[in-house]
Amino acid sequence: MTPPPSPLIGCAAERIAALTPENPHWIGDRKPGLLVVGAGMMGREHMRVTQLLGWAEVRGMVDPFKGSVDWALSDWRLLTDQPLKVYDDLREAIQDSAVDGIVISTPNHTHHNILQTVCASGKPILLEKPMATNLADAEQIVRLAEAYPSFIQLGMQYRYKAQYVDALYELQSQSALGAVKTIAMSEYRPPFLDKVDQWNKFNRNSGGTLVEKCCHYFDLINVVAQSRPKRVYASGGRAVNFLDFEWQGQSSDIDDHAMVIIDYDNGVRASFTLNMFCQELYEELVVVGERGRLVASEHASFHPDIRSSARLQVEVPQHAAYQAVPVGYPDPIESSGHYGATFFEHIAFNRQLAGQTVDAATPQQALWSLIVASAAQHSMQRRREVDVAAYCEEQGLGDFYAAG
């Protein structure tokens, strides 16, 4: 029998066509139950997407900040009249028999310690990006995952944005460009949003802008390059945002722009440009191969009345997208969070709950994205090129780099 189409294979349109309401996994006579750890912006997005997909149910949440809990409960009542348990203790929550999978969406600097606690459950975990704020903690998470009895999926949901799904389909499944030679990624956007205790305004809590905001993009670049990063050079700093910002007597030190160059072992050269003092959101991925150029772009906004629009252009003779074509997901999915990417991230998580193998970001891949981001942060501070092998050796990751 021919297996049914998968909503995680093919271009964006094929993934939408393959969607069915059929749940791939039940626990006895019920849907899998999820626990959301961290009820901030991303935690509420995970709750919203879980309800939209309908393959699992959020059984409860845990968060020490009453304001976040109240906001999440208010959002929840708009979604459903189903009960939602608020746990006072994380250790109690993870051991609840109604919880079958755990989503960690807390501030970056808490990921490592919370994961140590959550892993006592032995249950499947979806850990938000970045996995950690430094390479030592990230490498420890990789080792923990290797011995973990279940799976740990990393929240690199940009892999599932429609324009990048279509770009990767053209590059990998269709080999539209032939051998890839150069990659250029860019993001232009407004400043960091307000978060609990303004944690994202400080390098010590976020890991730095290129770790916090840009590990998604370095993951995409790594996936396209299909090689190990060799050299990184970055220039950037603080130009406009939060120059006079203080919180509890501490001055913000977060960067707001950067330009990064990456050389890979296989000869691919990549660049990344970030600017965080723009009015609107614009992303672009440009890949050039031996046969032509691919451009995947998106114009979005934090304004609710401005719709997202994404396009794919493949400048290869006779290609159907030579003049650029619109891509995207249906409105309910597109508006559910990160322009539909989180929706498909949850499909991947649920299929892994069902024991299926899917193309979702692993802890090892997440560490590679952090290696590039951390090396770029280091390069900006030192104002010099970073040899990635030597840098990994200095950071205690020499064996990991050599094995990569």
Return the structure tokens found at 353.
């709950």
Distance CA 292, CA 351 (A): 36
DSSP state of 354: T
pLDDT tens for 145-184 read 999 999 999 999 999 999 999 999 999 999 999 999 999 9
The answer to whether residues 342 and 46 touch, using CB atoms and an 8 Å cutoff, is yes
Provide the Cα torsion 389, 129, 361, 166; round to 10°.
-110
**φ and ψ at residue 230, rounded to 5 degrees:** -110, -45
Q: What is the mean pLDDT of residues 354-364?
A: 95
- What radius of gyration do the chain's Cα atoms show? 21
Return the structure tokens found at 368.
């590679």
Q: What is the mean pLDDT of residues 72-76?
A: 97
By three-state DSSP, how is residue 261 classified? Answer: strand
Kindly state the percentage of the chain with pLDDT values over 90.
93
Contacts of 348 (CB under 8 A, 6+ apart): 8, 153, 160, 358, 359, 360
Supply the pLDDT for residue 22: 80
Supply the pLDDT for residue 1: 40
Name residue, tokens 């929706």. Answer: 343
Q: Which residues pair with 182 in a beta bridge?
A: 269, 288
Q: Where are the alpha helices (DSSP H) in 265-357?
A: 331-334, 341-353
Distance CA 65, CA 39 (A): 8
Return the structure tokens found at 81.
């009249």
Return the structure tokens found at 364.
């090892």
**With left for phi above 0 and alpha for psi between -120 and 50, is residue 178 left, alpha or beta?**
left
Angle between helices 66-79 and 41-53 (to 10 degrees): 20
66 pLDDT band (50/70/90 cuts)?
very high
Supply the pLDDT for residue 20: 84
Distance CA 362, CA 280 (A): 31
Q: Where are the alpha helices (DSSP H) in 275-362?
A: 331-334, 341-353
* Pick from 125-134, 224-233, 299-308: least confident: 299-308
Q: What share of the chain is helix, strand, coil (3-state, %, to 5)?
A: 40, 25, 35
Q: What is the mean pLDDT of residues 318-330?
A: 97
24 pLDDT band (50/70/90 cuts)?
confident
303 pLDDT band (50/70/90 cuts)?
confident
Supply the pLDDT for residue 307: 83
Higher pLDDT, 387 or 21: 387
Query: Judging by beta carbons within 10 Å of its beta carbon (0-12, 13-18, 19+), is residue 207 exposed, middle or buried?
Result: buried
- Please state, in angstroms and as integers, the Cα–Cα distance from residue 319 to each residue in 13, 135, 179, 184, 329, following that order: 17, 42, 17, 21, 22
Domains of the chain are 21-158 (3.40.50.720), 162-338+362-403 (3.30.360.10)
The answer to whether residues 370 and 132 touch, using CB atoms and an 8 Å cutoff, is yes
Supply the pLDDT for residue 25: 85
Please say if the pLDDT value at position 2 is more than 60. Answer: no
Q: What is the mean pLDDT of residues 279-303?
A: 96
* Pick from 3-12, 84-93, 134-143: least confident: 3-12
The answer to whether residues 105 and 341 touch, using CB atoms and an 8 Å cutoff, is no
The counts of H helices and E strands in the chain are 15, 17
Q: Where are the alpha helices (DSSP H) in 199-340?
A: 203-206, 209-212, 215-225, 331-334
Q: What is the mean pLDDT of residues 21-27?
A: 83
Q: Please name which of 97, 40, 100, 36 lies closest in space to residue 65, comparing C-alpha atoms.
A: 40
Q: What is the mean pLDDT of residues 304-332?
A: 94
Please say if the pLDDT value at position 3 is more than 70. Answer: no
Return the structure tokens found at 276.
């965080």
The answer to whether residues 201 and 254 touch, using CB atoms and an 8 Å cutoff, is yes
The answer to whether residues 198 and 260 touch, using CB atoms and an 8 Å cutoff, is no
Supply the pLDDT for residue 118: 98
Q: What pTM, to 2 d.p., does this model score?
A: 0.96
Supply the pLDDT for residue 83: 92
Supply the pLDDT for residue 4: 55
> 3-class secondary structure for 21-53?
CCCCCCECCECCEEEEECCCHHHHHHHHHHHHH
Distance CA 328, CA 12 (A): 7
Which secondary-structure segment (H or E) carries 66? Answer: helix 66-79
